[in-house]
Every structure is written in C-alpha cells, then in structure tokens.
C-alpha cells in the first residue's frame, strides 16, 4: 500500500517536472526555436488546432523561424494566431511560407522573461507540493483505517518528503539553467 502511494506520488511529480520543461522551452531566448510556437492554437475552419498539425516548422537561421503550411488556405489563420500570441512578433508571409524574424532581446525583455520563468517554476513547485499533500492524506487515511502503523506512517511521510525535495530541486535546477540562458548576451 505504502509503495503504491509513493510510486504514484513520484509519477505525478515527474509529470509536473516534464510540464515545467515544456513551459521553459516555450520561453524565448536569443535563438529561434520551433518549441516557441508549440503551444500555439490556430482557428482552422472554426476548430482550435495545434500549429504543428497544420504546418512544418523549421529554424534555418539563429533568429528566424519558417512556418510552411500544409494547406495554403490555412496561412491567413496561422498568421493571425501568431500575431495574436504572446510572442510579440509580426509574421511575414509570401503566400508559400510564413517567416518569423526574432529581433535581438533587450535587457528589459530578458528580465521579463526571467520573471516569467520564475513564475512557471513556482507553478511547478506548487503542483509538486499539491501531489505531496494529496498522497500524505492518503497515507494518513491508511493509518486511520488501521492498515499501517504510526511508525510506518512516519517513515512513509519522510520518504514522501524526500521524493518531494528531489523533484523541487530538479525544478530549481531547470530554472537556474533557463535564467542563465536568458541572461546570456
């Protein structure tokens, strides 16, 4: 019972770290990266559709993304979605492909991105702590029902805290790496 609960907690915390990694990849650094547009939803014939399903995305140069729509009729919708996104970029289209030129980041913009990264990291930590709280409640329920003793509960809670600390440290490491990447000129 205890092992199942701890395994479940570890699995959920691991997923929270994966989500944090995805969130961090969506925060722009000095280089153009196809991950920047991964979460973009395009209104395709009235249905919100992920951009990756409608177009090929490549980064031929350090500050340029090229979006090649599979359906030429979707180009206008893709442009609109990019323009309305939080990327702060104006797409340039030649009818075949859409080019996204990323300007050099200013110091002020870099600091904004660092703030955003810190916010996303805090969301991940909160998610991990919520998993810990939920699983701790589950362990306490097992103890109340007489399935485990108080000593087993105490040991399981210590192990749960150790797992939590490990994943919070992982998020902190990801944040430090992203901060370094953002502030690098």
Question: Is the same domain home to 115 and 158?
Answer: yes
Band of pLDDT at residue 120, cut at 50, 70 and 90: very high
59 burial via Cβ count (<10 Å: 0-12, 13-18, 19+): middle
Tally of domains within the chain: 2
The last residue of a domain, from among 66, 101, 136: 101
Q: How far apart are CA 153 and CA 151, in angstroms?
A: 5
CA 140 to chain centre: 32
Q: What is the pLDDT of residues 57-108, one digit of tens each?
A: 998 888 888 999 998 888 889 999 888 887 778 888 887 899 988 878 788 8
Q: Which residues 6+ apart lie within 8 Å of 28 measured at CB?
A: 36, 87, 102, 105, 113
Cβ-based neighbours of 75, under 8 Å, separated by 6 or more: 69, 93, 95, 98
The CATH number of the domain where 66 resides is what?
A: 3.30.1360.40
Q: Is 102 within 8 Å of 65 (Cβ atoms)?
A: yes
pLDDT at residue 185, rounded to an integer: 63
Question: 126 and 60, same structural domain?
Answer: no
Q: Which domain holds residue 169?
A: 2-25+106-183
pTM to 2 decimal places: 0.73
């Amino acid at each position: 019972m205890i092992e199942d609960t701890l395994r479940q907690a570890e699995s959920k915390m691991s997923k929270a770290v994966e989500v944090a990694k995805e969130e961090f990849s969506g925060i722009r650094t000095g280089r153009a990266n196809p991950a920047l547009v991964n979460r973009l939803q395009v209104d395709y014939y009235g249905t919100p559709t992920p951009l990756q399903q409608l177009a090929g995305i490549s980064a031929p140069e350090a500050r340029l993304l090229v979006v090649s729509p599979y359906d030429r009729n979707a180009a206008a919708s893709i442009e609109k979605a990019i323009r309305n996104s939080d990327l702060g970029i104006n797409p340039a289209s030649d009818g075949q492909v859409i080019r996204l030129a990323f300007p050099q980041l200013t110091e002020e913009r870099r600091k904004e991105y660092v703030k955003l990264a810190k916010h996303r990291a805090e969301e991940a930590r909160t998610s991990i702590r919520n998993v810990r709280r939920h699983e701790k409640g589950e362990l306490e329920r097992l103890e109340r029902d007489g399935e485990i003793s108080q000593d087993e509960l105490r040991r399981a809670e210590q192990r749960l805290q150790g797992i939590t600390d490990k994943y919070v440290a992982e998020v902190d490491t990801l944040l430090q790496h992203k901060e370094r990447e953002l502030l690098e000129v």
